[in-house]
A and B are shown apart, each in its own frame.
Chain A
Amino acid sequence: MRRAQLLIAILFLILGLAAPLVVRSDYLFQVLFRVFLFAALGLAWNLVGGYAGQLSLGHAAYFGAGAYGLAVFSKAGIHPWLALLLGVLLAVLFAALIGGVSFRLRGPYFTLATIAFAEVLRVAAKNLAAVTGGDVGLQVPGLFVKSSGRSLYLAAVLLTAVALCITAWVSRSKFGYYLMAIREDEDTALSVGVNATRCKLRALLISAALTALGGGLYGSLFLFIVPDQVLSIDISSEMAIVAMLGGAGTFLGPLIGSVILESAAELLKNIFHEAHLLIYGLLIVLVVLFLPEGIAGTLAHRLRRKSAIAAPPFKAPGPVSS
């Protein structure tokens, strides 16, 4: 089972790396870039939202920090790659601050706090025109000089590979088990000596760094960013939905989610034009109603049931919410 998942992931990455040999159209490259970018972002979100069960809707803060870090620091004369690194550092700094405050909260309060932080950053970026260019936007340097679109695409594939490696490590390391214990029951995890705050914060820092790298690639592809785009709640919710659609807390989930959601979004845009958000909303509603564990989660459930058909699966009683 584990090995099969790993094989699928590797096959997926190889296909991604081989795509430039076949694909020629720029448009298709952009779609593929989005698929891999959001696979990486979904994987990043999954560390915090899936494995640790901390449902953040404020990851746009780190995405924006990466994009704006790249733009602002390179405008100050720093080499783009170094600027990107500084952007990642900025995102990690934000994550430490945001995590420090919001990890004390639980459930919907945590989610609301993460949204609020991202929104404060968005409004600040809109208004601090001297640094960020405000609503007018800011130019982003290209990270690659030669054949930029193709190189950025390959960078996105690489980022997905890194995110997959980290996820593979998390899903079978002690650290990962701590996170899952926190997700299932934070109080019990605390009582057996898991340092919940430190684990959650560490997961968030890793997640933020990956997200910021994604933000930098995104900015570098479009060469221009505005606050309402890279810091909007739409980015945060798209990351979450990619992971939830595929299956939060699963290894392959975000990958599957991104392939389906991003290609569906692109198709919907071409077929339905203005109605694509409506269909997108409908898709979310349907997933919540009929695939609450996501595609990978539901599949795993089915397989497990098939293999253990004699013994009825033990179902742990869900946490009683007051």
Chain B
Amino acid sequence: MERFFSALQAILNGVLTGSLYALIGMGMALIFGVMRIVNFAHGAFMMVGMYVTYLLFQGAGLNPYFGFIGSAMFLFLLGYLFYRGLLKPIRGRSDFMQILLTLGFGLILTDGIQLLFGADYHQINLPLLGKNLRLGSQISLNAPWLISFGIALMLGALLYFFVMHTMLGRAARAIAQNRYAAPLMGINVDRVQALSFGIGVAAAGVAGGLLLPVFYLYPTVGDQFTLKAFVMVVLGGMGSIQGAAMAGLVLGVVENLTSLYWGNEWALAVDFVIFLSVLSLRPSGIFGSQRV
């Protein structure tokens, strides 16, 4: 019984962690899955979101659960400008150029933040942090994680709605299907892509803001999330927003179970082993039906 409850606890914690992963993954699904931009700066963007939320908290006393909105707006603008200024000029070139460009930009962001704020670890203190929701005698859920879970769920649904049911989202998917036919249908490719890139990055910014209360903050905090975001997109099936969200939840649960049975340090390796198996055995992803 003891074992059952500890496993159940790990699974529930995994779902809570996974909801934030899902947000990061959905942003990447829009950028990499739909728009085919290999964005190696995704984690760095998320890290910037954490710092924005942190500054809003320290400077203006704004609670991170509202501060993430500021982070989203800032990141949207940053992503929009990044696409317009740097990505657009190399759009027709090979994927590897995008990889190098985004890697380089990620370095600029990470080292820039380190120059501005130092390499120290920061953490914020909310009275909420110690609160838990107890379910029965064995299971307890941490309050800040629950709140971010709720927010992530809502924003994830919003992002899904945006991609699947708005004009802009349709246009983004149309460009993904055929980059040459889309402009003939009256789609302003550059505008749509810049906006979608901004929105994808803003999703990472939101996740950063929501992670702030429960995570240490340091300049390279985002690095691990870049690769995880790619794992989620491939796991969920290229171009599938809901697939990436599901993959985020799965990743959260798998990581927590790995931590429980093998130790936290193996979690990342398990992520990548799953990733490699999916890539080689089922390249369309677990939840996806096809490659767009």
A binds B: yes
Across the A-B interface, give the 7 residue pairs with the lowest CB-CB distance, nearest first. Answer: A281-B107, A284-B104, A277-B111, A281-B108, A123-B269, A278-B111, A116-B272
Query: Cα distance A111–B276 when bound, in Å?
Result: 12
| Contact of B86 with A275 in the complex, beta carbons under 8 Å | no
Tell whether B112 is near chain A: CB-to-CB under 8 Å. yes
List residues of chain B with CB under 8 Å of any chain A CB: 32, 38, 86, 89-90, 92-97, 99-101, 103-108, 110-112, 114-115, 178-179, 227, 230-231, 234, 263, 265-266, 268-269, 272-273, 275-276, 279-280, 283
Interface-central residue, A112, A240, A318, by most chain B CB under 10 Å: A112
Of the candidates B107, B230, B268, the one having the most CB atoms from chain A within 10 angstroms of its own CB is B107
Decide if A113 is an interface residue (CB 8 Å cutoff).
yes
* Cross-chain contact B96 with A111 (CB below 8 angstroms): yes
Closest CB-CB distance, A300 to chain B, in whole Å? 18
SS class of chain A's interface: helix, strand, loop or mixed?
Answer: helix
A59 vs chain B, min Cβ distance (A):
14
Looking across the interface, which residue of chain B has its beta carbon closest to that of A49? Answer: B96
The reply to whether A109 and B108 contact each other, CB–CB distance below 8 Å, is no
User: Assuming A274-B115, A277-B107, A278-B115, is B86 touching A285 (CB within 8 A)?
Assistant: yes
User: Could you tell me the distance in whole angstroms from the C-beta of A147 to the nearest C-beta in chain B?
Assistant: 36
Using A109-B283, A117-B276, A289-B86 as known contacts, say yes or no to A281 and B111 having CB atoms under 8 A apart.
yes
Decide if A108 is an interface residue (CB 8 Å cutoff). yes
What is the total number of residues of chain A having a CB less than 8 Å from a CB of chain B? 41
B99 touches A282 (CB 8 A): no
Chain A residues with CB under 8 Å of chain B are 55, 57, 101-102, 104-105, 107-109, 111-113, 115-117, 119-120, 123-124, 126-127, 237, 240-241, 244, 274-275, 277-278, 280-285, 287-289, 292, 318, 322
Give A282's nearest chain B residue, CB to CB.
B108
Taking the closest CB of chain B, its distance from the CB of A235, in whole angstroms, is 13
Least CB distance from B279 to A in Å reads 6
Q: Is the CB of B108 within 8 A of A285?
A: yes
- Determine the chain A residues whose CB is within 8 A of the CB of B231 once the complex forms: 116
Q: How distant is the Cα of A117 from the Cα of B268 in the complex, in angstroms?
A: 12
Complex A-B: 10 CB contacts under 8 Å: A112-B279, A116-B279, A117-B276, A120-B272, A244-B100, A277-B110, A281-B105, A282-B104, A284-B100, A288-B104
Q: Given A116-B276, A282-B108, is A292 in contact with B234 using a C-beta cutoff of 8 Å?
A: no
**Contact A108 B95, beta carbon cutoff 8 Å:** yes
Chain A residue with the shortest CB-CB distance to B92 = A318
CB distance from A201 to the nearest CB of B (A): 15
Is A115 a contact of B265 with CB atoms below 8 Å? no
Assembly CA distance A112 to B33 (angstroms): 14
- The answer for the CA separation of A124 and B262 in the assembled complex, in Å, is 12
User: How distant is the Cα of A113 from the Cα of B268 in the complex, in angstroms?
Assistant: 14
Q: Are B265 and A126 in contact (CB under 8 A)?
A: yes
Q: Tell me whether A119 and B272 are in contact (CB under 8 A).
A: yes
- CB–CB B90/A289 < 8 A: yes
* In the complex, chain B residues whose CB is within 8 Å of the CB of A277: 107, 110-111, 114
> Do B100 and A288 touch (CB < 8 A)?
yes
What separation, in Å, do the CA atoms of A289 and B100 have in the docked complex? Answer: 10
What residue of chain B has the Cβ atom nearest to residue A112's Cβ?
A: B230
CA distance A127 to B111 in the complex (A): 28
Residue on A with the closest CB to B103? A237
Give Cα distance in the complex from A116 to B115, angstroms: 30
Q: What residues of A have a CB within 8 angstroms of the CB of B276 in the complex?
A: 101, 113, 116-117, 120
